[in-house]
C-alpha cells in the first residue's frame, strides 16, 4: 500500500492509505505499507527504498497506490510501477494523466459529445501577457464561475467567483498550484456522484448518491470536516436520469481507458445530466463517497479493496501477454 506523496493532498492520502491497509487486513491480506514523503523519497519501516526496474516492490503481489494529485495520480507513479513490473490498483499511465488534467479531460469529453458544463482553460503565461483577452474569453461563461488548478483535487486551490473584479485574484491563486487553470460555468441542479469498478471494458456503476451541503459549495471543508456534507443514497433523481448517469459514468470510464476504479461527478437538473469530472483515485477512507456508494450498492469495504487488487493482477497478467 502506497500513501502520502509530494502533492498538497499528502495528508488526505495518508488517511485513505490507513483505511485501505485496515480493510485489506480485515479481509485476510498481509499488507506492506510504503510512505511517500513530501520531499520525494519512498520509505518502508523508516528506511528509504532502493527501487530497481523489473525487480518488483518489496516482494508484493500487488501495489495499491492511494495517492492523489501530481506525483501520484497523474501517471508518474503508475509509470514507475510499470517499470518495476508490479501489478497496481487503478488506471494506467495515460488514463491517470488524462483524467487528472481537467482541461484535457474536458476537451476529450467534448469530442465524445458527452454533456458537461461550459469551461475555458487558461495558461499562466497567457494570463500574465494578455489579461484583457483572457477575461474577454471568460465572459461568455457568466457568473458565478469556479476557478480551479487543472491538475489538483480535493477542492485545493479552488475559488467560487461571483464578481468579475475577483476573477484575476482567483486565477492568481490557482496558478500558485498549477500553471494550467480551468474556469467552469456554474453547474445547475444537484451534485450527484457515482462509483465505477471494473476493467477497461466491462465496468459497473454503483447506485448514485446525492451530495447534500449546508455550505454554498462543495469546498475542502465540506469534503473533509465532520458534518461538512451528507451523502443521500439513492439520489433524488428520476429513474431515467439515474440510468443515463450510470451509463455516462461507464462510457467515460471506458473512453478514457480507465481501469480498476473511478468516481464520476455530475450535476443533475431534472432530466439534464452533466458530467463534471472523473477521478481515478478518489478519497478512500471508509467514509469517503466512493466506498460509501459501493457499500450502499452491496459491496462492503473489505470486499471492495480485495476486488480492486484482483482486477489489478488480472490487468497485469493480460498486458504481459502482449509483445509491445
Average pLDDT of the chain is 94
DSSP conformation class of 294:
H
Q: 170: how many CB neighbours lie within 10 A of its CB? A: 20
CA-to-CA dists, residue 2 to 28, 31, 34, angstroms: 18, 10, 5
Residues 276-291 have a mean pLDDT of 94
Secondary structure (DSSP) of 19-35 = HHHHHHHHTT-----EE
Cell for 100?
Answer: 487528472
Q: What's the pLDDT score for residue 278?
A: 96
Give me the sign of the Cα torsion angle 22, 25, 27, 30: positive
Give strand pairing partners of 260: 198
At 68, is the secondary structure helix, strand, or coil?
Answer: coil
| pLDDT one-digit tens code per residue, 65-82 | 999 989 999 999 999 999
pLDDT tens per residue across span 94-131: 999 999 999 999 999 999 999 999 999 999 999 999 99
pLDDT greater than 90 at residue 88? yes
Residues 236, 190 contacting (CB under 8 angstroms): yes
Q: pLDDT tens for residues 22-68?
A: 999 999 999 999 999 999 999 999 999 999 999 999 999 999 999 99
Residues classed as catalytic:
9, 154, 224, 263, 265, 277, 279, 283
Q: Which DSSP letter does residue 63 get?
A: B
> C-alpha 309: how far from its chain's center?
18
At 43 the three-state DSSP class reads: strand
Quick one: cell of 142?
457568466
* Residue partners of 162: CB distance under 8 A and separation at least 6: 143, 144
**Whether the Cβ atoms of residue 284 and residue 290 lie closer than 8 Å to each other:** yes
> What is the per-residue pLDDT across 208-248, written as a single tens digit (0 to 9) for each?
999 997 766 565 555 555 666 799 999 999 999 999 999 99
Packing angle of the helix pair 131-138, 167-175 (nearest 10 deg) = 110
The answer to whether 290 touches 282, Cβ cutoff 8 Å, is yes
pLDDT at 153 over 70: no
Q: H or E stretch including 193?
A: strand 190-198
What is the average per-residue pLDDT within 188-204? 95
Residue 115 to residue 200: CA distance in whole angstroms: 21
**pTM for this one?**
0.93
| Domain boundaries of the chain, sorted by first residue | 2-89, 98-103+107-113+188-320, 118-185
How confident is the model over 306-316, as pLDDT tens digits? 999 999 999 99
**pLDDT the model gives residue 76:** 97
CATH of 118-185, one of 3.30.565.10, 3.30.450.20, 3.40.50.10420, 3.30.1490.20: 3.30.1490.20
CATH number 3.20.20.70 given to 2-89: no
Q: What is the CATH number of domain 98-103+107-113+188-320?
A: 3.30.470.20
Amino acid at each position: 500500500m502506497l500513501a502520502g506523496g509530494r502533492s498538497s493532498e499528502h495528508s488526505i492520502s495518508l488517511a485513505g492509505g490507513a483505511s485501505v491497509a485496515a480493510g485489506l487486513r480485515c479481509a485476510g491480506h498481509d499488507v506492506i505499507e510504503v510512505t511517500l514523503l513530501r520531499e520525494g523519497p519512498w520509505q518502508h519501516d523508516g528506511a528509504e527504498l532502493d527501487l530497481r526496474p523489473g525487480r518488483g516492490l518489496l516482494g508484493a503481489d500487488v501495489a495499491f497506490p492511494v495517492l492523489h494529485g501530481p506525483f501520484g495520480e497523474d501517471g508518474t507513479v503508475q509509470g514507475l510501477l510499470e517499470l518495476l513490473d508490479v501489478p497496481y490498483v487503478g488506471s494506467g499511465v495515460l488514463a491517470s494523466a488524462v483524467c487528472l488534467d481537467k482541461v484535457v479531460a474536458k476537451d476529450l469529453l467534448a469530442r465524445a459529445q458527452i454533456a458537461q458544463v461550459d469551461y475555458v482553460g487558461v495558461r499562466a503565461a497567457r494570463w500574465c501577457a494578455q489579461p484583457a483577452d483572457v477575461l474577454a474569453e471568460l465572459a461568455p461563461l457568466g457568473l458565478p464561475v469556479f476557478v480551479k488548478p487543472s491538475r489538483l483535487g480535493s477542492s485545493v486551490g479552488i475559488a467560487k467567483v461571483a464578481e468579475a473584479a475577483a476573477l484575476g485574484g482567483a486565477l492568481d491563486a490557482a496558478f500558485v498550484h498549477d500553471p494550467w487553470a480551468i474556469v467552469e460555468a456554474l453547474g445547475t441542479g444537484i451534485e450527484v456522484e457515482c462509483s465505477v469498478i471494473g476493467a477497461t471494458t466491462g465496468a459497473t456503476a454503483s447506485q448514485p448518491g446525492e451530495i447534500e451541503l449546508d455550505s454554498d459549495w462543495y469546498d475542502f471543508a465540506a469534503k473533509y470536516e465532520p458534518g461538512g456534507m451528507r451523502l443521500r443514497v439513492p439520489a433524488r433523481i428520476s429513474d431515467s436520469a439515474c440510468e443515463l448517469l450510470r451509463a455516462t459514468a461507464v462510457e467515460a470510464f471506458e473512453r478514457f481507458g480507465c481501469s480498476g476504479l473511478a468516481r464520476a461527478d455530475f450535476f443533475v437538473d431534472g432530466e439534464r445530466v452533466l458530467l463534471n469530472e472523473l477521478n481515478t483515485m478518489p478519497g478512500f477512507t471508509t467514509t469517503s463517497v466512493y466506498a460509501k456508494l459501493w457499500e450502499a450498492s452491496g459491496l462492503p469495504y473489505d470486499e471492495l479493496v480485495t476486488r480492486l487488487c484482483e482486477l489489478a493482477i488480472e490487468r497485469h497478467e493480460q498486458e504481459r501477454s502482449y509483445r509491445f
